[in-house]
Amino acid sequence: MSRNESRILALTISSIIAMIVIGGAIYVLGSMKLLPGNYILYLELVIWIVGVLLVTYLFSVLIRRRLSTVIGVDNASSLGFVIRVIGYALALAGAVSVFKVGLGEALAAGGFAGLVLGLASQDVLSNVFGGIMLLLSRPYKVGQRITVSTWQYGLDFPTYSPKYFSTDYLIPGYTGTVVDITLLYTIIQTDELAELRIPNSIMIQAAIFVHDKEEKRKVRTRYEISKDFDPDMVAEKIKEELSHMDNLLAPPVVRVLEATQTTFVFGIDVIAKSVYEEPVRSEVIKRVTRVVRSLSQEEKVNGSK
């Protein structure tokens, strides 16, 4: 049984148990004349709300699973989101109709309840409206790889090897693939394969970097080389070696950024077609290492002569 099927089964069983428990409590309280009016209305209300929400959830999951291959994962997810919103609206409308509330009373009660609930649950409502805005504006889609940068969830980089000996700034963020957009959360599977749930109200405010499959990236790699070598000669050798890289979109740029007492710190900039930085940087490091090793061997041979 898959994870989604287990979740659906668990939700169905939990909903049935909840209806039985709440229905039993209403029946007991109604029999004891502790509930105002006909307790049957309360039973119908519970059955209606739980049933509508359960059917809505199952229907949205079914649409996502069946239509994702036809209309795309992102469109199927958006359609499932709309169905869930409609389900909540139907549950509320059914609750109003059960008690036969008139339009004027409903508006008055709704205004008062909205004020109370708005003050009591600002974060929840902001997440719901944030999810609706994300659905309408669609700054990102399900299946896209994004980086979320927001001040609410800051990250600290005490050390970061690609930026060693660098005054470059870092963009703190969480990178991963969007799995789902629910009423309250955007679910992201990070590159570390962890599931990250960010409230929709945060996603509305965050800076979103969308990484396309055809993305080109500028990758900077730093490499220390002994001062025994001529820096201009080393730079030309590195350029020549890196020009044979796959998916290279521009000639590599090699500069001396800094110098220590014994080494030059080279900055090697490569623009390549890649979603991830690491494969490009790995290839650069391996090729530069081969160049330096070859120069070292040549120096040994010339020195022995």
Q: Residue 122 has what pLDDT?
A: 60
Rounded distance, CA 149 to CA 265, Å? 30
pTM: 0.56
Scanning the structure block, which residue is given the tokens 């969007």? 178
Q: Residue 286 has what pLDDT?
A: 93
Q: Residue 289 has what pLDDT?
A: 93
Report the relative pairing of strands 216-226 and 185-190 from DSSP bridges. Answer: unpaired
Rounded distance, CA 231 to CA 49, Å? 74
Element (H, E) at 61: helix 39-71
- Torsion over CA: 95, 97, 101, 103 (sign): positive
Q: Residue 120 has what pLDDT?
A: 43
- Give how far Cα 240 sits from Cα of 231, 235, 284, Å: 14, 9, 12
How do the pLDDT tens digits run along the chain, 305 residues long?
555 556 666 666 766 676 666 666 666 666 666 555 565 666 667 777 777 777 777 777 777 776 666 666 666 776 777 777 777 777 777 666 665 555 455 455 555 455 445 544 566 667 777 777 887 788 888 888 888 888 776 655 544 454 544 445 566 788 899 988 887 889 999 888 889 999 888 888 888 888 876 678 888 888 999 888 899 999 999 999 999 998 888 899 999 988 888 999 999 999 988 877 888 899 999 999 999 999 888 877 676 65
Rounded distance, CA 268 to CA 226, Å? 16
Rounded distance, CA 220 to CA 269, Å? 5
Q: Residue 181 has what pLDDT?
A: 83
Scanning the structure block, which residue is given the tokens 């029999």? 31
Return the closest-CA partner of residue 215 out of 279, 171, 136: 279
Beta strands in the chain (DSSP E): 145-149, 174-181, 185-190, 195-199, 207-211, 216-226, 253-259, 263-273
For residues 206-236, one letter each, b for 16 or more C-beta atoms within 10 angstroms of the residue's C-beta and e for the rest, the string is bebeebeeeeebebbbbbbbeeebeeeebbe
